Amino acid sequence: MFDSNIVGSANALVGGWGNMGAGITTIVMALIADGFVHAGLSPNLSWRVSLVIPAFLCFIVGLSNYFFADDCPQGDWSKRGLPIERTPEIHIASNEKNDKNIEVHDANKVVKDDAVSITDSEKNVTVPTSTRPDLKTFLTALKNPNVLILMIMYSCCFGVELAVDGALTLFFFNHKSFNLSKKNAGLIASLFGLMNLFSRATGGFISDFANEKLGIRGRLIAQFIIFFLEGLFLFVFPYSLNTLPQAIVILILFSYFTQAGCGTSFGIVPFVDPKIMGAVSGLVGGGGSIGGAIFTAVFKAYGPKTPMPFTVLGIVVMIVSFTTLLLRIDGRMLLEWKRK
């Protein structure tokens, strides 16, 4: 959908602002539940009733997407590239005797015929007809080692994000040296999700910038560095719990790199196998959900009173960061010893 030089930024910005809902929800849902408690409901019932509100909002958003959203910037995907009705040409006033057509100088140049306009990057690309992905498509994607590696890597960023989102409030609440109320613990924990306002997007920006300077290898370098730093700050977090300000600083740092890793990952995904990009994206995204389930089990196994899960996650993520060395995208790798 997006040009190759901004695909990382575009995917990361949209995904990051979506994930930012986790931080907002942590704050808003607590306030809604408190409102129901003050209205006379029990605490247990207030949480159940409050969940009706996001369910209703999701239903409305789903209907809005179905009826009003375009499939892609060119409109309906099934009609992309087909002839459309000619639209009136736009004219501007000038000092010359005859008006001249506007010439558009941007990434989406207007094609002055009956074809749908396409971006410069698509001029020499044959776009296949939209088809429903089948089992064979997903099996083809699963046979690609790059897909499997990116599934594991995405489980170590988005999966970590899911697990930490669910555990952070109780962790701060149960850490007795901080002596926080559940409400204040939730507010501090919400910082983790709210970082998505910019953190995932900057991961995409970094990936695109590195691609501009070094090509696809630049994206791999960005992927490795961000994942390694994510693991490092996750590992350091348990050692920052002497004071609350220190813990918050390290929380923000590992939050940033966790979410930026999601951005750099999906800066690589579109280049793995463009012909089946939908299947590749779905599998990599599914890897994040699987990672979330696994890492949530780690937090549950250790309980909410110990920082040991952060140590475990940090070690795992640092090890997984080195799998970037195994990625081969468009014939390029992170380390190329014999390349001329």
Beta strands 91-92 and 100-101 are: antiparallel
Burial 280-300 (b: 16+ CB within 10 A, else e): bbebbbebbeebbeebbebbe
- Residue type, position 312, single letter: V
pLDDT for 113 equals: 43
Beta bridge partners of 75: 72
Identify the band that residue 16 occupies on the pLDDT scale cut at 50, 70 and 90: low
pLDDT at 211 over 80: yes
Q: Is the pLDDT score of 289 beyond 50? A: yes
Residue 174 has pLDDT above 80, yes or no: yes
What angle do helix axes 182-194 and 244-268 make, rounded to 10 degrees?
Answer: 30
Instruction: Grade residue 15 by pLDDT with cuts at 50, 70 and 90.
Output: low
Among residues 255, 299, 269, which one has the least CA distance to residue 154? 269
Is pTM beyond 0.85? Reply is no
pLDDT of residue 83: 60
How does DSSP classify residue 105? -
Confidence grade of residue 23 (pLDDT, cut at 50, 70, 90): low
CB-based contacts of 97: which residues, under 8 Å, 6+ apart? none
Q: What is the model's pLDDT at position 320? A: 97
- Coil, helix or strand at residue 108: coil
Asked whether residue 125 carries a pLDDT value surpassing 50, the answer given is no
Looking at residue 336, what is its pLDDT?
78
Residue 2 scores a pLDDT above 80? no
If you ran DSSP here, which 8-state letter would residue 329 be given? B
Instruction: Please answer whether residues 169 and 229 qualify as being in contact, where contact means their C-beta atoms are separated by less than 8 angstroms.
Output: no
246 vs 106, residue with greater confidence: 246
CA dihedral 264, 297, 145, 330 (to 10 degrees): 0
Please give the span between the terminal C-alpha atoms of the chain, in angstroms, as a whole number: 33
Nearest-angstrom CA–CA distance, 191 and 222? 24
Q: Which of 6-20, 25-39, 276-290 has the lowest mean pLDDT?
A: 6-20
> Is it the case that residue 22 has pLDDT exceeding 50?
yes
* Cα–Cα distance for residue pair 98/136, rounded to 1 Å: 58
Q: How far is CA 88 from the centre of its chain?
A: 40
Tokens 């910082």: give the residue: 191
How far apart (Å, rounded) are the C-alpha atoms in residues 278 and 7? 14
CB neighbours of residue 89 within 10 Å: 10
Note the pLDDT of residue 149.
Answer: 97
Per-residue confidence at 224, pLDDT binned at 50, 70, 90?
very high
C-alpha dihedral, 87 to 88 to 90 to 93, nearest 10°: 180
Looking at every residue in the chain, the average pLDDT score rounds to: 81
pLDDT in tens, 238-251: 999 999 999 999 99
Indicate the residue type of 214.
Answer: L
Rounded-to-integer distance, Cα 322 and Cα 224, Å: 7
- Domains recognised in the chain with CATH numbers: 7-26+133-326 (1.20.1250.20)
Residue 126 has pLDDT above 70, yes or no: no
**C-beta separation of 237 from 254 below 8 A:** yes
